[in-house]
């Protein structure tokens, strides 16, 4: 038996007026996804426990069968693993976004315009992160370049319990009330973030971006601290030799911590303009090499949700269906071996709120050997109407590998 798990990150949404009161999943022309859904077991699942923040680390850990209440230690340490950083037990990792802040007033009076600085290129961001490390790094802390706007700070004896505000949750808001504060132990974090603006705002990279009409990455924003992660081997848990394919360090890090193969695909970006065909080919190649489960994560719908790009979110769902799901399905269907395909977002990222929501998400499980009375259109509403609700996402892998 072969298993494909396809995660269109943040795909689930709420009805949008500009789409005629329907969701991007309902609007998207996705014949392959809907064809498989018509024969699949359909339901909804809560990947994020009610008392936890709906972040991608928590949700993807759950989908891979790791109870977030036990294993979720913050996304930054998982990203650090993907970046090849060998953390010591006394070190804390922090996600370090390079964000766009407005120019007016003092630091506290500025507005956060973009959590991704127009999805800055990794090459440009690398120069900015090196500048931060040169000016703000020392024997206790070091900055590391990740992908696009997503980077890492490692801090010896750093506070791994500090409750930072997530930058994508406050887009368009004045940052003052959301910054780390002296009263709750955040003075060092505040100073670092404020000083980063002075270093980055007029850096040559940002002046050149302004000249090209792009947003500057003019401040660091710290969040999601955590210590070195420890996950049981996925193969030991399920007896399956597995691979993970993703453009983002977080998902790669989860896979590596779970002793899964992490496959890099040239040209993947983490947004709507990514190498969909390359991801499909990498999944097919992994199956040809004997991998039994391939976990394909696609960030595009999530980024479109954060950026309120309705049309692009629809397009990303369509491309996932026809450029990833279709060719991998056709390959598996042609092998003569039984296989299953599970498709679900990790969490919703509604256009209306531009951040993650904790609501249950739709899932479908297609079994080549067993047809179900599915749905003609795979969506939030049709999945909910099936009344097959899984309250704990970490139980989903058992459902996939079981009798369904």
**CATH at 352:** 3.40.720.10
pLDDT category at 183 given cuts 50, 70, 90 is: confident
Cα end-to-end distance, the chain, whole Å: 13
The predicted structure's pLDDT at residue 266: 92
CA atoms within 13 A on the CB side of 136: 26
Residues 260 and 397 in one domain: yes
117 and 246 together in one domain: no
383 shares its domain with 273: yes
> Helix 249-257 to helix 75-82 angle, to the nearest 10 degrees?
80
- Tell me: do 381 and 258 sit in the same domain: yes
Indicate if 303 and 219 belong to the same structural domain: no
222 lies in the same domain as 244: no
Q: pTM for the full model?
A: 0.82
What burial class does residue 107 get, using C-beta atoms within 10 Å of its C-beta: 0-12 exposed, 13-18 middle, 19+ buried?
middle
Does residue 381 share a domain with residue 242?
yes
Task: Identify which of 356, 85, 62, 115 has the alpha carbon closest to the alpha carbon of residue 227.
Answer: 85
What is the tens place of the pLDDT at every residue in 351-381?
999 999 999 999 999 999 999 999 999 999 9
Round to whole Å and give the CA distance between 17 and 14. 10
pLDDT at 270 over 80: no
What is the sign, positive or negative, of the torsion defined by CA atoms of 36, 37, 40, 44?
A: positive
Taking each helix axis as running N to C, give the angle between helix 187-200 and helix 122-136, from 0 to 180 degrees, rounded to the nearest 10. 120
Per residue in 73-119, pLDDT (tens digit) is 778 998 999 899 999 999 999 999 999 999 989 999 999 999 999 99
Section 39-44 average pLDDT? 98
In the chain, pLDDT over 70 holds for what percent of residues? Answer: 100
Given 226, 260, 275, the domain boundary residue is: 226
What count of other Cβ atoms lies within 10 Å of the Cβ of residue 97? 26
Q: pLDDT category, 261, cuts 50, 70, 90?
A: very high
Computed over every residue of the chain, the mean pLDDT equals 96
Q: Residue 398 — very low, low, confident or very high, per pLDDT cuts 50/70/90?
A: very high
> Which residue shows structure tokens 């996932």?
320
Residue 321: domain span: 2-70+230-401
Residues 34 and 110 grouped into a single domain: no
């Amino acid at each position: 038996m072969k298993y494909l798990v396809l995660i269109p990150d943040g795909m689930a949404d709420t009805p949008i007026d500009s789409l005629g009161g329907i969701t991007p999943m309902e609007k998207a022309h996705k014949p392959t996804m809907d064809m498989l859904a018509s024969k699949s077991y359909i339901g909804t699942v809560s990947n994020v426990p009610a008392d936890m923040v709906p972040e991608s680390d928590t949700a993807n850990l759950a989908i891979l069968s790791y109870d977030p209440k036990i294993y979720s230690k913050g996304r930054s340490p998982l990203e650090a693993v993907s970046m090849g950083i060998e953390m010591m037990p006394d070190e804390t990792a922090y996600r370090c976004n390079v964000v766009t802040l407005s120019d007016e007033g003092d630091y506290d009076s500025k507005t956060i315009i973009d959590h991704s600085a127009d999805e800055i290129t990794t090459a440009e961001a690398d120069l900015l992160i090196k500048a931060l490390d040169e000016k703000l790094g020392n024997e206790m802390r070091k900055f590391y370049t990740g992908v696009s706007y997503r980077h890492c700070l490692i801090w010896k004896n750093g506070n791994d319990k500090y409750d930072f505000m997530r930058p994508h949750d406050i887009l368009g808001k004045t940052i003052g009330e959301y910054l780390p504060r002296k009263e709750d132990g955040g003075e060092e974090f505040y100073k670092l973030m404020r000083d980063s603006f002075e270093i980055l705002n007029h850096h040559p990279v940002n002046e050149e971006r302004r000249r090209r009409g792009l947003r500057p990455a003019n401040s660091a924003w710290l969040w999601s601290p955590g210590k070195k992660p420890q996950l049981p081997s996925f193969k030991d848990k399920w007896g399956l030799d597995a691979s993970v394919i993703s453009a983002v360090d977080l998902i790669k890090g989860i896979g590596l911590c779970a002793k899964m193969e992490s496959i890099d695909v040239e040209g993947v970006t983490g947004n709507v303009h990514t190498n969909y065909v390359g991801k499909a080919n990498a999944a097919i190649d992994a199956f040809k090499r004997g991998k039994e489960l391939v976990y394909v994560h696609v960030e595009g719908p999530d980024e479109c949700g954060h950026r309120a790009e309705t049309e692009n979110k629809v397009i990303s769902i369509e491309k996932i269906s026809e450029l990833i799901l279709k060719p991998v399905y056709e390959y598996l269907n042609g092998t003569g071996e039984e296989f299953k395909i599970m498709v679900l977002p990790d969490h919703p990222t509604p256009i209306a709120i531009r951040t993650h929501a904790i609501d249950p998400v739709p899932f479908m499980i297609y079994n080549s050997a067993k047809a179900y009375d599915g749905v003609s259109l795979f969506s939030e509403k049709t999945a909910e109407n099936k009344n097959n609700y899984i309250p704990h996402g970490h139980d989903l892998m058992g459902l996939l590998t079981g009798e369904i």
